[in-house]
């Protein structure tokens, strides 16, 4: 299922997701990833789905959402891996512009050193770049990148992209407990001063991460990061991304399809699932049946129950 949602987004309002990468092809194996372990670690761009198929799936889902009176603020590339690995990304963006809905991407920034990737990203209205670290050791510990990637080239690519991009550019820095950040916040702040993002988001894991030891950073650590970034680029341009995005998940006609397509990319809390079922006039037995069939799995994280699509990346090796 290539298109899913619309789902509530803390950055983008109501976002119709585009899952343009299969489970789970990525250039990173981040310790906090909500999708699961990286099955194929890759950095070479290639074709995954025909661009026409991506366009038709998104167009269909957007039409279904509109028929149900659902608002869509953005079409967002937020797949089961790194979206810029898709060699057809630029072509897909050009085709999707015909739907007259703003286009966004959430990328881990790993391929932004490539000119062709920057050219594709320039076609978008909103670009979110991962910026977990600017120091090699911390970057390798948290993001666990493909061994041939170089952080200095990635950071240079981000600055190069900023020179030409006139859409909304944001960064996202994920903070987890058990990491000694030391002087890292000051180093990230200096880079942010040079990059000049519209917003620098500070995030913590809010859904079940792949590595069981991962927990959100403590409040005092989050606060130090906020103050340090704010000193560099202004308090009005630093925001927390640490709250729950809400339960406003859209029902677009087929509740089983909606649940499976959303949870393939976006683990859902139990209360959010109940809200979606209510919209669809469906019973909780729908979820129980999907669990019994092995299509959904239940997880506990920080005292709450989550439901996720059962994919290979979520199975223990």
Nearest to 55 by CA among 6, 21, 93: 93
Asked if the structure places residue 205 within a domain, the reply is: yes
Asked if the structure places residue 78 within a domain, the reply is: yes
Residue 102: the pLDDT is 97
Range of the domain at 43: 3-241
Cα dist from 5 to 33, 102, 196, 276, 298, whole Å: 20, 15, 31, 11, 20
The CA dihedral of 80, 84, 85, 88, to the nearest 10 degrees, is 110
Residue 236: the pLDDT is 87
151 close to 121: Cβ distance less than 8 angstroms: no
Q: What is the pLDDT along the chain (317 residues), one digit of tens a residue?
A: 899 888 878 778 899 999 999 888 999 999 998 877 778 899 999 999 999 999 999 999 999 988 888 899 999 999 889 999 999 999 999 999 999 999 999 999 999 999 999 999 999 999 999 999 999 999 999 999 999 999 999 999 999 999 999 999 999 999 999 899 999 999 999 999 999 999 999 888 877 787 888 888 888 888 899 889 999 999 889 888 754 444 455 555 678 877 877 776 566 778 888 888 888 888 899 888 888 888 887 877 667 787 877 766 556 55
Report residue 101: phi and psi, to 5°: -125, 135
CATH for 145: 3.20.20.70
Asked if the structure places residue 260 within a domain, the reply is: no
Residue 246: the pLDDT is 45
Residue 242: the pLDDT is 58
59 close to 97: Cβ distance less than 8 angstroms: no
Asked if the structure places residue 216 within a domain, the reply is: yes
Count: domains in the chain: 1
Residue 264: the pLDDT is 63
Asked if the structure places residue 37 within a domain, the reply is: yes
Residue 35: the pLDDT is 75
Asked if the structure places residue 18 within a domain, the reply is: yes
- The residue ranges of DSSP E strands in the chain, in sequence order, are 3-9, 13-18, 25-26, 40-41, 74-77, 103-107, 126-130, 168-174, 199-203, 238-241, 268-269, 296-301, 304-309
Residue 245: the pLDDT is 46
32 close to 174: Cβ distance less than 8 angstroms: yes
Residue 207: the pLDDT is 75
At a CB cut-off of 8 Å and minimum separation 6, what does 274 contact?
284
Asked if the structure places residue 265 within a domain, the reply is: no
Rounded Cα gap, residues 134 and 185, in angstroms: 9
């Amino acid at each position: 299922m290539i298109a899913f949602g619309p789902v509530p987004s803390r950055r983008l309002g109501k976002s119709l997701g585009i899952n343009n990468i299969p489970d789970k092809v990525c250039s990173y194996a981040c310790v906090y990833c909500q999708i699961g372990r990286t099955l194929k670690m890759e950095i070479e761009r290639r074709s995954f789905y025909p661009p026409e198929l991506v366009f038709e799936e998104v167009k269909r889902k957007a039409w279904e959402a509109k028929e149900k009176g659902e608002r869509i603020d953005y079409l967002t590339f937020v797949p089961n891996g790194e979206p810029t690995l898709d060699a057809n990304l630029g072509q897909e963006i050009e085709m999707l512009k015909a739907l007259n809905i703003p286009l966004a991407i959430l990328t881990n920034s790993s391929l932004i050193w490539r000119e062709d990737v920057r050219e594709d990203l320039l076609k978008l209205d909103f670009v979110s770049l991962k910026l977990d670290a600017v120091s090699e050791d911390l970057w390798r510990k948290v993001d666990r990148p493909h061994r041939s990637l170089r952080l200095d080239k990635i950071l240079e690519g981000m600055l190069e992209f900023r020179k030409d991009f006139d859409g909304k550019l944001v960064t996202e820095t994920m903070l987890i407990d058990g990491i000694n950040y030391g002087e890292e916040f000051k180093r990230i702040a200096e880079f942010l001063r040079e990059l000049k993002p519209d917003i620098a988001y500070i995030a913590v894991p809010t859904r079940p991460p792949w590595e069981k030891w991962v927990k959100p950073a403590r409040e005092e650590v989050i606060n130090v990061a906020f103050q340090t970034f704010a000193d560099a680029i202004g308090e009005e341009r630093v925001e927390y991304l640490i709250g729950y995005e809400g339960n406003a998940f859209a029902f677009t006609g087929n509740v089983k399809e909606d649940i499976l397509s959303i949870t393939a990319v976006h683990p859902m809390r139990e209360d959010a699932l109940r809200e979606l079922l209510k919209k669809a006039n469906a019973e909780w037995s729908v979820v129980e049946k999907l669990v019994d069939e092995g299509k959904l799995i239940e997880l506990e994280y920080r005292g709450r129950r989550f439901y996720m699509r059962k994919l290979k990346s979520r199975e223990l090796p």
